[in-house]
Amino acid sequence: MQEQDKSPTQGEYKLVQGLMRGLSLLHALNRCDGGARITELAQQTGLHRTTVRRLLETLQHEGYVRRSESDDSYLLTLKVRELSEGFRDEHWVSQFAAPLLGQLLQEVVWPTDISTLDVDAMVIRETTHRFSRLSFHRSMVGRRLPMLMTAAGRAYIAHCPDQEREQIIQLLASRDDNQGALARDPESVEKLIRKTRQDGYGSNYRDWGEEGRIAAIALPIRHEERVLGCLNLVYIADAMTIEAAAARYLEAMRSVVTRIEHSLSPKIR
């Protein structure tokens, strides 16, 4: 039986209007750094207020937005980052940072990592653990590091933009664990951030219960106003104090961070 010719439009699906409206709403919220009310969003998107409310309730149910109890505005949550999981600007790790880690290993001997934020934790993207003769962990890529208990997490949270920091702390505070308890203590969080900024680097000396024998120092990797990730050096805590590690290795680490940042500009947008 001979097939019939099909017109160019035959068999094509209709555009999903609800999805288009939801994406339009997410874009509008992304442009409103301090959040926006339903009326404002309706004006920006051209959608009816009832439609905006229904979309916001759906997005809130799925965890992508939250409603402020103080002024009825809506804000994006960190979960929206998951929408970009398939397209990452973290390609800079393999393109620019990974080769420099190999050079750094020759100078510092101890293993180093590059980690980036993944919702509520720092995730190791590249490491020299498998090459360092002083490493006691070989498989580290993909490991999640607690934000408030590790050098990398502290370096990130102390230097990221204020709004991002607030969102991270709120997310951590909702957890039912030691990190959640710490996040719910504003004085402790402020003290941690202040110390990290004064030192000029993040540090962890046996503070992470799961890895009680290690210590680490970390530096943020910046691009414009953003913190793209952190460079972390890990060592056995019995070998030296944090101050000794900083005095011995920070200069070499800063050199690598500077080279990474220069390589990135203006490639990352």
Say if residue 231's pLDDT is above 80: yes
Instruction: Give the model's pLDDT for residue 4.
Output: 43
User: How far is it, in rounded angstroms, from Cα 219 to Cα 155?
Assistant: 6
Query: DSSP letters of 222-236?
Result: EETTEEEEEEEEEEE
Instruction: Give the model's pLDDT for residue 13.
Output: 63
Q: Which residue type does 207 have? A: D
Per the listing, tokens 């204020």 go with 162
pLDDT band at 8 (very low <50, low <70, confident <90, very high): very low
Count H helices, E strands: the chain? 10, 8
pLDDT in tens, 176-206: 888 999 999 999 999 999 999 999 999 999 9
pLDDT in tens, 25-68: 888 888 776 678 899 999 989 999 999 999 999 999 988 888 87
Instruction: Give the model's pLDDT for residue 28.
Output: 87
Instruction: Give the model's pLDDT for residue 141.
Output: 77
CATH architecture of 17-76: Orthogonal Bundle (1.10)
pLDDT in tens, 119-165: 889 998 888 877 776 766 656 778 899 999 999 999 999 999 999 99
Instruction: Give the model's pLDDT for residue 119.
Output: 86
Say if residue 86's pLDDT is above 60: no
CATH code for the domain defined by 91-264: 3.30.450.40
- Report, as an integer, the average pLDDT of 14-22: 85
User: How far is it, in rounded angstroms, from Cα 230 to Cα 150?
Assistant: 11
Domain spans, the chain: 17-76, 91-264
Alpha-carbon distances of 77 from 16, 23, 120, 122, 208, rounded to whole Å: 24, 15, 11, 17, 26
Per the listing, tokens 């408030």 go with 148
Residue 149, Ramachandran bin (φ over 0: left; ψ between -120 and 50: alpha; else beta):
alpha
Instruction: Give the model's pLDDT for residue 1.
Output: 41
